[in-house]
A and B are shown apart, each in its own frame.
Chain A
Amino acid sequence: MAKCDLSVELDEPNRVYHEGEKVQGVVHVKVDSTVKCTGLVLSTGWKTHGRGNVTGGSAEETTVFSGQWTQGTKYEYRFSMSASDWPQTYHGQFLSIDHYVEAKAKIPWSFDPKAAAPFMVRVTQLPTWHAEELSQNLKKSKKPQTIGLLLVAVFFVPQLLFTGWIGAGLLVFVGLAATVYWLKQKFLPRYLLGTPNVYVPEDSLVPGSKLVGEFITQTRKTVVTNAITVALRGTEVCVSGSGSNRTTHRNVIFEQIEQLQSNTTLQAGNENRCPFAFQLPEDAALSVNLKENSLIWSIEVEVDIPRWPDWRKNKSIYIVPADEKRLGSGSDQSGAGVMMASAPLAREKSQADDSATENSKSAIAEGVTFVETVAQIWAVRDDPDQLEMVVDAVTELSFTIEAQVERRLLYAGDEDPHVYKDGYAVWARYPAPRLPLVLYVPHDLGDEFEQLGRGVWTGSGVVVGWDSLHGRLQIKLDSSS
């Protein structure tokens, strides 16, 4: 088998690149015998490495050569490609993020040789899409957890009761445990402290800046506390494995604890205010949330009450790139800090997105084609909120579908409501862009699909939703009968 050596050489391996800047260099190729290459593909992007499941993203991809490489000849291909706009290069204990230029030679009937060179990226500005994502996360975290509890009650309580005394006993036990937890963690501390709260006027900050906040409470009774402490922490949180092998690894990269008061008496009816301030390190790592790899900053206030359950409150803060702050002002304790921090950008994107969604809806009303629908979905496939909006807009609409069949599903999953009786599901892709699809095939089209193999199928169908687990547009095909 022919040996093909690839190497990537950067012009400036020690340069610090900023988002979107061009990374330049050369790819060297050396082959020990004449070999056909169907594509020398170069790409820029980032990857996590360390204890968490690997995640990554790409910025630019280009094919610089296809053809024949002759034995004994050395080839060189110069490149100039854009760096990603997010995340920043980071090297920690459990989590690391690096950017690479990667070269891959596609060699028929052989393993594709690869080479990569790392380069350093420092982000000066939060990408607009990321600012939106963070603000969405903040909003989501504010949703009351009672919705979850209600869902548990609605779905699990009847099931447990069906199992008789064992189920009822289990239910009582779970209920008791929840009550004890609620009493200890929520009710009892609040019973003494009244309405304790942590106020942070600005929860998106830049490295080197000052974090200020206040613990405020008005107690019902006079309370003597052992101590009131506040801690600022930066933590790497990485998840490895999945299912029963899933493990969460945490590593505190920064911790500073301040004692605000000790052996203090909080007088009943008086408003007690304990201000605090932390100086963030100049080299503080930026907050990131990359699927199963996160870097989380938070402050935790704890009130130690003698012979009584302690009160604790954790509040997330976001460390954003330094230049980001020039784009807007901070936030209030509503938790919309990141959105506020990049308000002009976020607003601009939001308006653009709103208008895109409106446009898509009106276009659909005018009779959008499947090609246009696929293009819209493809464009927003990495943005869950936008994707949901576009899919919602086209759900229940009928189209003339073109799809390249990939695989038949042996089993469509528990309780998939879209599968026809005696029918089956097929995984397919739209030819270009290659948007993944799930086609629900009725029984009478079974033979047609059987004969088609992996060919392209054309016919009519209705969009019924989005399979978020596998990232596929779900389409129920029309029965010919």
Chain B
Amino acid sequence: MMFTPDDKSPSIEWLPWARFNLHRNPFGELTPDERAELAIVDVDYLIEMLGDPRQAVQFIGECGRGKTTRMLKLRSVLPRASYTYIPEHPPCPPIVLGNPILVDEAQRLSRSARRSVFRSQCSLVFATHNDLSKSLRKHGYHVYTEHIGEGNGPELICELLNRRIEASRLQSGVIPVVSIEDAESLVAEFGNDIRAIENRLYLQFQKNLEGGVDGEM
């Protein structure tokens, strides 16, 4: 990654990231709204599908591949949607009626909650680790399954990392850039696990900040 400090002297001396014209480490945690805003996912075809109340969409994939990001993006563009995250341990939380109903970690729905959701006659979007298509079809849903993570190639990774850096911009001027070569080497090391890549870059960024690096990492 190229860390090129702004030519101008930093206007905010006390802010460590100002050296790179940033106001924070770009690879830290984001709010759900920021995650939706920065997501690079095409959801238009899903929105069209979800117009049918008997349509169910399920995102299947391992952790850190982008299931929740897709759910948050859908929630941000569909004002009538409801979003519920099902925690690992009971009790199952209340599920709000929406169009569509978005359920994250849907494989954890309790039996009674699952029954209520399947009988809702609303379009559904599930992020899940298990394939729930059989049960959905039994309740009359058309199921569209998307395996998340397969498309997380170097180009996409490069774009989304640079988008995160841009979102941490302090003011106009030069900011660090992730090159396609950087992205390729990260993909070679971490595969399609975006969360692992972000974690690595977070630590790398902090390390360079402390070490006073202002050149190429």
Chain A residues within CB distance 8 Å of chain B: 7, 13-14, 16, 49-54, 89, 91, 93, 96, 98, 116, 118, 120, 240, 242-245, 407-416, 425, 427, 469-470
Contact = CB atoms under 8 A, between A and B. Distances in A.
A243 B112 contact: no
Interface string B99-120: 0010001000010110011001
Interface residues of B, number: 41
Contacts of A13: 11-12
B88 A244 contact: yes
Contact of A240 (B29, B31, B92, B171): B29
B12 A14 contact: yes
A413 B94 contact: yes
Contact of A410 (B25, B31, B116): B116
A91 B175 CA distance: 20
Contacts of B120: 410
A414 B29 contact: no
B87 interface: yes
B117 A243 contact: no
Contacts of B12: 13-14, 118
Interface in B50-66: 63
| Interface of chain B: mostly helix, strand, loop or mixed | loop
24 contacts: A7-B171, A14-B13, A50-B25, A51-B202, A52-B29, A54-B30, A54-B31, A54-B34, A89-B14, A242-B85, A243-B85, A244-B88, A244-B105, A407-B82, A409-B95, A410-B116, A410-B120, A411-B94, A412-B94, A414-B91, A414-B92, A414-B112, A414-B113, A416-B94
Contacts of B88: 243-244
B47 interface: no
Nearest to A52: B29
Nearest to A239: B29
B97 interface: yes
Contact of A408 (B11, B96, B112, B206): B96
A133 to B, nearest CB: 23
Given A409-B97, A413-B94, A120 B14 contact: yes
B95 A411 contact: yes
Contact of A243 (B11, B14, B92, B105): B105
Contacts of A14: 11-14
A242 B82 contact: no
Nearest to B116: A411
B23 interface: yes
A49 B105 CA distance: 26
Contacts of A96: 24-25
B92 A413 contact: yes
A413 B94 CA distance: 4
B31 A413 contact: no
Given A14-B11, A415-B91, 13 more contacts: A14-B12, A49-B25, A51-B29, A51-B202, A98-B15, A243-B86, A244-B63, A245-B63, A409-B97, A411-B92, A414-B110, A427-B96, A469-B93
Nearest to B98: A407
B140 interface: no
Contact of B97 (A49, A242, A407): A407
B212 interface: no
Nearest to A415: B91
Interface in B68-97: 82, 85-88, 90-97
Contacts of B15: 91, 98, 118
B210 to A, nearest CB: 8
Contact of B94 (A49, A89, A245, A409): A409
A243 B95 contact: no
B28 interface: yes
B92 A118 contact: no
A50 B198 CA distance: 12
Contact of B93 (A240, A407, A413): A413
B96 A410 contact: yes
Q: Which of B15, B30, B92, B98 has the most chain A CB atoms closer than 10 A to its own CB?
A: B15
A420 B111 CA distance: 20
